Amino acid sequence: MNNSNGYILRYAAIMVIIAAALLSSAAMLLKPFQERNMAIEKMGGILDAAGIHGVTTDDMINSFNNYVTEEVVINQDGKVVEEYKEGAKENGKAFSLGLKEQYYNKLQGKPYELPLYILTKDNETVYIIPMLGTGLWGPIWGNIALKSDLNTVVGVYFDHKGETPGLGAEITTDQFKKQFIGKKIFDDKGNFTSIEVVKGGAKKLPKNMQIHGVDAISGGTITSKGVDAMLKNVLESYLPYFNQLRKNK
C-alpha cells in the first residue's frame, strides 16, 4: 500500500512538473505575439486620436511608421531628453516608456519623463500626447492630439479597463470623443484651461468658456470626473514643453 501511495505521489509530482514546464514554454512562445498585439493596439490609439481611422491590423505598423515622423521624450522641465526619428518608431524610448511609473514619480515629487509623438497628416504637424488616469473601476487611458498651435484639439482616443457598459464605458464612443474636436486648452490670453468635462453639459459654462468644455457622460459621473482630472494632470505636465515651443514660434 505504501509503495502504491509513493508511486502515485511521484507520478503526480512528475505530471505537475511537466504541466508547469509546458505552460511556461507556451507563455514564452506566446509572449512575442502578445507584445506585438499590445503594440498594434497602442499604435491604433495614437493614430485614432489624430483622426486616422480604418487602418487594418496587418497595415498598422507600416501606417504608424509612415505617419509618425518623430518621437520625443521630455522631462519635467519640458526639456527634450531623447529624440527618435529614424527606424521603426516602436523601438524608440517614447514607445516603451511606462506612464504609470512616470506619473507616480510626479506624484511623489520625483523627476519624471513623458513621451510625445509628432505626426504629419495632410501636410500638417500634429502632436499626440498619451494619457493615463483613473475611472470608477480602474485605470482609464488614451491620447489627445493637438494642432501645431499646441492649443486646438484634433481628436482624442479613450479606453478603459472595467468601466460600466452604457455608463462610464461611453468614453470610448464616437459621440463622446467627437465633442473634443476643435476645443482649446488655452484661453485668448494664453492661460491654460485644459478641457472641462461638465456634468449637465458644456452649455452650463459661460459662453466664452464653452470652447474649453465638453458634455459629461449621463450616468457616468465618476468616470467623467476621472477623464476631467486625467486631462488636467496630463496636459499640465506638458506645459513647460509647450511654453518653450510656443516661444520659438
Q: Answer whether residue 20 is part of any domain.
A: no
pLDDT (0 to 100) of residue 30: 53
Residue whose cell numbers read 511521484: 10
**Which of 76-80, 82-86, 166-170 is modeled with the greatest confidence?**
76-80
Q: Answer whether residue 81 is part of any domain.
A: yes
Residues forming beta bridges with residue 121, ordered by sequence position: 124
Q: Answer whether residue 50 is part of any domain.
A: yes
Asked whether residue 25 carries a pLDDT value surpassing 80, the answer given is no
Asked whether residue 63 carries a pLDDT value surpassing 90, the answer given is yes
Which residues, other chains included, contact 154 with Cβ-Cβ below 8 Å and sequence gap of 6+? Answer: 49, 50, 51, 126, 145, 146, 147, 181
pLDDT (0 to 100) of residue 14: 79
Rounded to an integer, the average pLDDT of 118-138 is 94
Q: Answer whether residue 122 is part of any domain.
A: yes
Rounded to an integer, the average pLDDT of 223-234 is 97
Q: Answer whether residue 7 is part of any domain.
A: no
Condensed to tens digits (0 to 9), the pLDDT of residues 162-219 reads: 888 888 899 999 999 999 999 999 999 999 999 999 999 999 999 999 999 999 999 9
Tell me how far apart the alpha carbons of residues 111 and 101 are, in angstroms, rounded to a whole number.
Answer: 11
Domain that holds residue 91: 43-247
Tell me how far apart the alpha carbons of residues 25 and 31 are, in angstroms, rounded to a whole number.
Answer: 10
Asked whether residue 29 carries a pLDDT value surpassing 70, the answer given is no
pLDDT (0 to 100) of residue 185: 97
Dihedral (Cα; 156, 162, 166, 167), 10-degree rounding:
-80
Asked whether residue 249 carries a pLDDT value surpassing 70, the answer given is no
C-alpha cell belonging to residue 52: 486616422
Q: Answer whether residue 95 is part of any domain.
A: yes
Percent of the chain with pLDDT over 70: 92
**Number of structural domains the chain divides into:** 1
